[in-house]
Amino acid sequence: MEYGTKQDEDRRICLECGEEMPYGRTDKIYCSVKCKNRHYYAAHLSGRYIRTRVASILDRNYALLEALLSDKSCSVDLASLTVKGFNPDYMTYHRSCKYYSECGCYDIRYRQNKSRIYSIEKI
């Protein structure tokens, strides 16, 4: 059989396992439900991992800010907060001002400059 013949064009290969699909619909791209699920899981695993990681970081930031509020601290050194696990790159709200950034983590708002977090308040 020569390459490029009509029979060669009719061959369909499963996107997941690479096996030939001898029968079925012409637009079928997986040989089984198992291959379809495996392909979907692999394709969406990285996005799910990133969302989980970001949610975890935001939860940690929120817990630290909430602890500061319960201690009635309205100002803290950024370096000491990052040592405790705070990640200043992750927030749910951000607005830049001339001398500081106004940030938020869910319902807690705070101001941040290069070295401090201050004016911590619950909205």
Nearest of 85, 80, 77 to residue 56 by alpha carbon:
85
Sheet of 93-96: strand order equals 75-77, 116-122, 108-112, 101-105, 93-96
Cα–Cα distance for residue pair 39/17, rounded to 1 Å: 9
Helices (H), 4-122: 6-10, 33-70, 78-83
- Summarised one tens digit per residue, pLDDT across range 11-40 is 788 988 989 887 888 888 999 899 999 888
Give the pLDDT band of residue 46 (cuts 50, 70, 90). confident
- Report pTM: 0.65
Which residue matches tokens 């607005």?
95
